[in-house]
Amino acid sequence: MADGLNVADGLNVADGLFDGTIALPRAVVLRDALEHNIATMAAYCRAQGVRLAPHAKTTMCPAIVARQLQAGAWAVTVANPRQALVLDAPRILIANQVVDPGSLRQLHVLRDREVYCYADSTASLEALESVAFPGLRVLVELGVPAGRTGLRDDTAALELARRIEAGPLTLGGIAAFEGILDPGPRLDTLLERLSALAQRLDGIVTLGGSVHFDRAVQALPDLAPRLVLRSGCYVTHDGGYYDRLSPFGSHATGPYRLREALEVWGTVLSRPEPKSAVIGIGRRDVSHDAGLPSVRHIRRHGHSHAAAAATATATLDPQGLEVTALNDQHLILRLPADHPLAVGDAVGLSVSHPCTTFDKWRSVLIVDEAYSVVEDAPTLF
């Protein structure tokens, strides 16, 4: 995991990413885009009459989660009790089964909060019952064939719900995750199952990852007051996977549009061949599980040349630079032999899938439009 800055680094607010005080590579979050995304999703949920419990596993960054709560998030979603313990949120939705003794022990530490957990079997329910406390609510999880956790059979789901209602725990509602599904019959079937079961059970209905949350809202209009979306990646969006698939990505036609807020910056270390450059960024610095990153900016001597640069600065335009490989500590670019990219130039990357970039850093720098540091924001993975 890449190191965050500490006192010895001498970081001061308003230090600039390119003024020689901050070593590269670094992951940065653009404050204006971050705040725009948080406000955009909050506005969408208000307009639709649904609630938002953003999945904090995307960033695990208290400074960002605090902004989401301040914007009106109903709860914070996490993947396990350990994540909940390090985040300051009074209402927690653990979007997972909690069954191992160590995690159950951590769950009990959360007994002063309102906590929602999943169950998809009598065994997982009994595990939760072993640490029962007044604020613990159980969500019956539905799943799909060849998917992840969750009940495939709706009769079994109803039976489990009735078992929960018998005590000692409280039935919190129903949960599912549709993000792994392509648009089509399997997604439609899951939404129909949720709707049918919700007519027979009380509590919240939670789903809505970062790809199909709009489909969930459209398909379940009668459940809007009970519907809780768990989208996470919207908070920084990206320039790859989610930009292509999110309903608020580059193809959006409605009033809502997310902005890319996360970048990773590194330095050109070598031009070993005419059509090749090596950048000091590797697998330990940037995501690669949902596609390689792409070059968004080049900066030399304090001047930035973005992809939309004017003709006068086109000589350093990043278009035409292709990331072809990513090693542990190096990134390989293919570029035209006459491109003036030089050793020492700073290169800003657009990521694909923000979750697996954040988890590589002990902190991210939140920066303003001039790339001056606003906040050194720790992550707690």
pLDDT tens track for 108-127: 999 999 999 999 999 999 99
pLDDT value of residue 319: 82
Domains (range + CATH), the chain: 7-29+258-378 (2.40.37.20), 32-238 (3.20.20.10)
Lowest mean pLDDT among 206-215, 268-277, 309-318, 345-354: 309-318
pLDDT value of residue 4: 46
- Scanning the chain, the segments in alpha helix (DSSP H) are 31-48, 62-70, 81-85, 101-109, 122-129, 154-165, 185-198, 213-219, 241-245, 355-358
Residue 11: pLDDT band (50, 70, 90) is low
Q: Is the pTM of this model over 0.95?
A: no
How many percent of the chain have pLDDT more than 90? 88
Q: What angle do CA 225, 237, 243 make, to 5 degrees?
A: 100
CB atoms within 10 A of CB 251: 11
Are 53 and 79 spatial neighbours (Cβ–Cβ below 8 Å)? no
How many percent of the chain have pLDDT more than 70? 92
The residue-averaged pLDDT of 140-169 equals 97
Lowest mean pLDDT among 143-147, 172-176, 279-283: 143-147
The residue-averaged pLDDT of 210-233 equals 96
Q: 349: which 2 tokens?
A: 């990357």
pLDDT tens-digit profile of 268-322?
999 999 999 999 999 999 999 999 999 999 998 766 666 444 333 334 778 889 9
- Give the C-alpha separation, 129 to 160, whole Å: 13
Look at residue 250 and tell me whether its pLDDT is greater than 60: yes
Mean pLDDT in the chain? 93
Residues listed for the chain:
381
- Give the C-alpha separation, 198 to 260, whole Å: 35
pLDDT value of residue 1: 57
- Give the C-alpha separation, 374 to 333, whole Å: 31
Residue 213: pLDDT band (50, 70, 90) is very high
DSSP string, 258-289: ----EEEEEEEEEEEETTEEEES--TTTS--B
Q: Which residues touch 81 (CB under 8 Å, ≥6 apart)?
A: 94, 98, 103, 104, 106, 107, 109, 110
